[in-house]
Amino acid sequence: MSNPKAVVLLSGGMDSATCLAVALAEGYEAYPIAFRYGQRHAVELECAARVCAHFGLPADRLYVVDLTGAFRGSALTGDAPVPTGRPLGALAAHIPATYVPARNIVFLSLAAAYAEPLGARDIFIGVNAVDYSGYPDCRPEFISAFTAALNLGTQAGEERRCFRIHTPLVRLTKGQIVRLGQALGVPFHLTHSCYQGTVPACGVCDSCQLRLKGFREAGLEDPIPYHGVK
């Protein structure tokens, strides 16, 4: 019997790459899905492809959905400046300018639309509700409610082949994510997290700060180059 298929949301950042590694370690045949949505950090998509190759997935396995223009009004799509140098302690208290309206809702919906004809009922997403930027669609309560809606609104749910949304990182600190990723052989040198999309990474946006914090906590050196102070 072949391994069950799972659709894995892959952005090319360290969290989603770790999430992919978890899905593979759990024995799933992974079908990564990525989104082009006008993000400043489109370099992530190249990283996603390299991460897939690293894990030995077939060259055409990564499915990139083009959503250019579907999101407006966010700093991540170039409509506002990316905040930098925000104190990490304050991140989750307010929804930042990098919030993309309903992003994970859209991504999970399209993941389900992809999964259903594929015969996959498992969806992996690397959301994190501990060390994160304060996005409401990264929390367990949202994921539970969305899963319920999905199973009421799809043929799979109808036929009791219910979707399961796996969030293996949701309750981990960034340091724990780095350690988990290292244990599972995640090629962190191929991942990219900077919201500004620069190479070297800026080091000062929320995402860079959280990533650097994770490596510090794990007692490891982040292998990617940074423009700012490390």
Q: Which residues bind a copy of itself (CB under 8 A)?
A: 65-74, 95, 99-106, 108-110, 112-117, 136-137, 139, 141-142, 145-146, 148-150, 152-155, 157-158
C-beta closer to a copy of itself: residue 132 or 215: 132
Q: What is the CB-side half-sphere exposure of residue 25 using CA atoms within 13 A?
A: 14
Count of beta carbons in the 10 Å neighbourhood of residue 84: 15
C-beta closer to a copy of itself: residue 49 or 201: 49
Q: How are strands ordered across the β-sheet holding 164-166? A: 63-66, 29-36, 5-9, 122-124, 164-166
C-beta closer to a copy of itself: residue 17 or 75: 75
Nearest distance in Å: CB 198, a copy of itself:
25
Nearest distance in Å: CB 29, a copy of itself:
18
The beta strand positions in the chain, using DSSP E, are: 5-9, 29-36, 63-66, 122-124, 164-166
Nearest distance in Å: CB 107, a copy of itself:
9
For residue 13, which of 210, 167, 219, 184 has the smallest C-alpha distance? 210
C-beta closer to a copy of itself: residue 42 or 70: 70
**What's the angle, vertex CA 34, arms to CA 29 and CA 39, rounded to 5?**
160
C-beta closer to a copy of itself: residue 150 or 178: 150
Sort 59 into a burial class: Cβ within 10 Å, 0-12 / 13-18 / 19+.
Answer: exposed
| C-alpha–C-alpha distance, residues 32 and 19, integer Å | 10
C-beta closer to a copy of itself: residue 121 or 179: 121
Nearest distance in Å: CB 30, a copy of itself:
18
Rg (CA), the chain: 17
Nearest distance in Å: CB 137, a copy of itself:
4
User: In degrees rounded to 5, what are phi and psi of residue 82?
Assistant: -75, 125
Nearest distance in Å: CB 183, a copy of itself:
30
